[in-house]
Amino acid sequence: MDLLRRHLFFIVCGVVAAAGVAAGVVGLQGMPKVQAGLKNVAGIYDALGRIQSKPVSRDEIEAEKQRIERLVTDRDAVEAKAKTLYAYAPLVPEVFPSGDALPRIEFRRRYMEAMDALLPTLRAGVPATPREIEAFKDRIKNEVVRARDQGMDLESGSGPQRTPAGILTAAGVRLNARARANIAKAQQLYCYALSLADSKPPLQVPALDYHKAMIDVSAVDAPFIEDVWWAQIGYWIQADVVKAIAAVNEAAAEAARARDEEAWVGNLPVKEVISIRVSSEYVSRDSADEKLGAPPAGFDPAFPPGTPETVFTHSGQTSWYEVRQFTLKLVMDERDIPALVDRLCTNTFHNLLRVAYQAVPADKDFAAKVYGPEPAVIVVMDFETIMLGGVFRPIMPTATCEYYQIQCPVREETNDEGG
């Protein structure tokens, strides 16, 4: 077990590499080779240009042309397969690339509905509320009175209140309203996560990454088309993450039910979604920033580095694709990290960049979140997602294309893209 823990990151990377990402389906060995091949196409053309003045055989030239044709064929095959692997559809189909005000206003409404619907699919919630704790205080008082009527004294206890490690025992929990309320609440949930409605910024922020321009659904002015685009991509990525978390937890829940156990936070892999955060824009290959990944400490949101300089793939925007980074900060059973990465990266264009984790200190009093009897860790995972131009650029807003100097398809602009 110690050997596995020491080498967990390499095991995770091995799982993802074995899965392939998306390009393995078309005979390539994964996105890194696709990226390298696409990058080399321009170099091959340059090389052909340089050798025109040198004595070369027609066979050599023909061989290079065939090599280029194979790379282009591979690229086209990846793009064709990607259209099925991404499986993304805009929340409002008519809004891209240049929808007028009404579709953009409708998008804001549907976006908020879709985002608010993500956490319920995880059966996520928060620890016991003050009202729930007060209800247990009343329940305990009634239990003490009934016990006295039967000649028993619950307050004297039926054994030690704490273990040698200082953790409350069943006897200690019996008369502790906060502990009982938190344990009861945990048994109703699959994981913890703070919704937008329950958040109280700046100290308590939602687990999901809401685009600020979309939050006020009562606003009269339409959001800018660029904001609609960023919100849509952010939703797609977060929906993928939530789907992966739900799949991993549900698989464990089914296994628990097969053992005649109730599925709850304490016996499921992902115990809390602290934050999911998506980079605010495309990752530029020219970026010289050297931002490091967030540490796996505390319960503040963790943000992606947003630069190619400090990630091992060094991926950034090219003439063929764009890159967004995203970061998950979770409380998990350490042993289930590879399973979550596998769910999120297999047959997708999401690539794992980094994993870092540390143990969660035990809550000996069950005063807040109850993670169960197994040791848990706070884990931070950085990912990138490759967005192939052939799939996304046809619907990318013109203003976004121009800002990032992206060669997007020519289209007629008939609508105002402003707010």
Q: What is the pLDDT of residues 156-166, one digit of tens each?
A: 666 788 888 88
Q: What pLDDT band is residue 3 in, cutting at 50, 70 and 90? A: very low
Yes or no: say if 194 and 207 are a contact pair by the CB < 8 Å rule: yes
pLDDT recorded at residue 21: 39
Q: What pLDDT band is residue 109 in, cutting at 50, 70 and 90? A: very high
Q: What is the mean pLDDT of residues 159-188?
A: 91
Of the listed ranges 80-89, 214-223, 410-419, the least confidently predicted one is: 410-419
Q: What pLDDT band is residue 26 in, cutting at 50, 70 and 90? A: very low
Q: What pLDDT band is residue 83 in, cutting at 50, 70 and 90? A: confident
Q: Is the pLDDT of residue 282 over 50?
A: yes
Q: Is the pLDDT of residue 152 over 90?
A: no
Q: Is the pLDDT of residue 131 over 80?
A: yes
Please tell me the pTM assigned to this model: 0.82
Of the listed ranges 30-39, 90-99, 185-194, 329-338, the least confidently predicted one is: 30-39
Q: Is the pLDDT of residue 134 over 90?
A: yes
Q: What pLDDT band is residue 183 in, cutting at 50, 70 and 90? A: very high
pLDDT recorded at residue 29: 39
Strand order in the sheet with 321-332: 124-125, 191-193, 270-278, 321-332, 377-388, 350-359
Where along the chain do its domains lie?
95-123+189-403, 126-188
Q: Is the pLDDT of residue 4 over 50?
A: no
Q: What pLDDT band is residue 310 in, cutting at 50, 70 and 90? A: confident
